[in-house]
């Protein structure tokens, strides 16, 4: 079976840059320090407006946003970036635990979320997963499955002559399923490859994104490609 290998960092690779936006000073400083000890370059700001400015200036490889911030909140930052075509991975930090609140963050364009208080090891795992996903598709190959074409270098996907307008997470999910077309991928494996963390059996995170992807991939009248294998996972069918 073909699965994406996990990237291995080397000393020659430049340190990834991160914009961290958190209005609580103690949380911001401790999180910044922890990330810097992991050898990330961190630009820490106190609100959403400062985050937008820092992102425009520094073009980071990852953005970490607190959900509730003054001036411009995390959801608004997500929406502004995605509306502008910025696909930089976004991790939301939130003290809210309701599923609806998490879904709102995903709908706004966030790639992942982490509930406060969080363990640093879990934060690091989420960061590594999002950065690893950004590196997929660097070989310039196309994946072609019938009328579905995926440009891995350009990070674009097409169904017949129709371009699929996908978020970063939706593209990564489609890419993983297409790379393993015909093979049922289990929930645990998909969580590991896409999010770098298994949210557990009660999580709706994967199902939400499968729903988003299916709506864009399969318009009325088009052949169904993405299938659910109940209790196991998902498979993208070969033509």
Domain boundaries in the chain?
17-134, 142-236
Is there a contact between 36 and 64 (Cβ–Cβ < 8 Å)?
A: no
Is there a contact between 157 and 173 (Cβ–Cβ < 8 Å)?
A: no
User: Do the strands 148-151 and 156-159 form a parallel or antiparallel pair, or are they unpaired?
Assistant: antiparallel
Give DSSP secondary structure letters for 32-73: HHHHHHTT-EEEEESSHHHHHHHHHHH--SEEEEESS-SSS-
> Is the predicted pLDDT of residue 167 greater than 70, yes or no?
yes
CA 212 to chain centre: 13
What percentage of the chain carries pLDDT values higher than 70?
87
**Residue carrying structure tokens 């490609």:** 225
Interval 226-231 mean pLDDT: 93
User: Coil, strand or helix: which one is 19?
Assistant: strand
Interval 62-78 mean pLDDT: 91
Residue 108, token pair as written in the block = 């706004």
**Class of the CATH-defined domain 142-236:** mainly alpha
In this predicted structure, which of 66-70, 132-136, 234-238 has the lowest mean pLDDT?
132-136
Residue 97 vs residue 195, higher pLDDT: 195
Residue 136, token pair as written in the block = 């997929």
CA distance linking residue 207 with residue 219, whole number of Å: 18
Same fold, 17-134 and 142-236: no
What percentage of the chain carries pLDDT values higher than 90?
44
Q: How confident is the model at residue 125 (pLDDT cuts 50, 70, 90)?
A: confident
pLDDT at 137: 45
User: Do the strands 17-21 and 41-45 form a parallel or antiparallel pair, or are they unpaired?
Assistant: parallel
> Is the predicted pLDDT of residue 7 greater than 80, yes or no?
no
Residue 27, token pair as written in the block = 């949380």
User: Which CATH superfamily hosts domain 17-134?
Assistant: Response regulator (3.40.50.2300)
Is there a contact between 108 and 212 (Cβ–Cβ < 8 Å)?
A: no
Interval 12-21 mean pLDDT: 81
Q: How confident is the model at residue 97 (pLDDT cuts 50, 70, 90)?
A: low
Interval 95-107 mean pLDDT: 72
Q: How confident is the model at residue 216 (pLDDT cuts 50, 70, 90)?
A: very high
pLDDT at 181: 87
> Is the predicted pLDDT of residue 217 greater than 90, yes or no?
yes
From residue 56, give the alpha-carbon distance in Å to each of 23, 116, 235: 19, 27, 38
Is there a contact between 94 and 101 (Cβ–Cβ < 8 Å)?
A: yes
pLDDT at 45: 96
> Is the predicted pLDDT of residue 9 greater than 80, yes or no?
no
Read off the pLDDT of residues 201-213 as tens digits, 9 standing for 90 and up: 777 889 999 999 9
CA distance linking residue 81 with residue 58, whole number of Å: 14
pLDDT at 11: 42
Interval 155-167 mean pLDDT: 91
Is there a contact between 45 and 29 (Cβ–Cβ < 8 Å)?
A: no
For CA atoms 81, 85, 90, 95, give the dihedral sign. Answer: positive
Mean pLDDT across the chain: 84
Is there a contact between 156 and 163 (Cβ–Cβ < 8 Å)?
A: yes
User: Coil, strand or helix: which one is 142?
Assistant: strand
Q: How confident is the model at residue 192 (pLDDT cuts 50, 70, 90)?
A: confident
> Is the predicted pLDDT of residue 67 greater than 80, yes or no?
yes
């Amino acid at each position: 079976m073909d699965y994406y290998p996990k990237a291995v960092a080397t000393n020659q690779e430049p340190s990834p840059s991160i914009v961290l936006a958190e209005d609580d000073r103690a949380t911001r400083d401790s999180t910044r320090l922890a990330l810097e000890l992991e050898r990330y370059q961190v630009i820490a700001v106190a609100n959403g407006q400062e985050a937008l400015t820092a992102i425009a200036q520094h073009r980071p490889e990852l953005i970490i946003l607190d959900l509730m911030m003054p001036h411009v909140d995390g959801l608004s930052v997500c929406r502004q970036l995605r509306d502008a075509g910025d696909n930089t991975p976004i991790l939301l930090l939130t003290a809210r635990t309701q599923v609806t609140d998490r879904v709102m963050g995903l709908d706004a364009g966030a790639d992942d979320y982490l509930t406060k208080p969080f363990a640093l090891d879990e934060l690091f795992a989420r960061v590594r997963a999002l950065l690893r996903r950004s590196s997929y598709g660097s070989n310039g190959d196309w994946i072609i499955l019938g009328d579905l074409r995926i440009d891995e270098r350009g990070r674009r996907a097409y169904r017949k002559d129709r371009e699929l307008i996908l978020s970063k997470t939706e593209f990564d999910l489609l890419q993983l399923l297409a790379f393993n077309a015909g093979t049922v991928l289990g929930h645990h494996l998909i969580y590991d490859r896409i999010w770098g963390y298994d949210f557990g059996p009660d999580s709706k995170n994967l199902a939400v994104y499968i729903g988003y992807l299916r709506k864009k991939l399969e318009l009325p009248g088009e052949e169904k490609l993405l299938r659910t294998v109940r209790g196991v996972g998902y498979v993208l069918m070969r033509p």
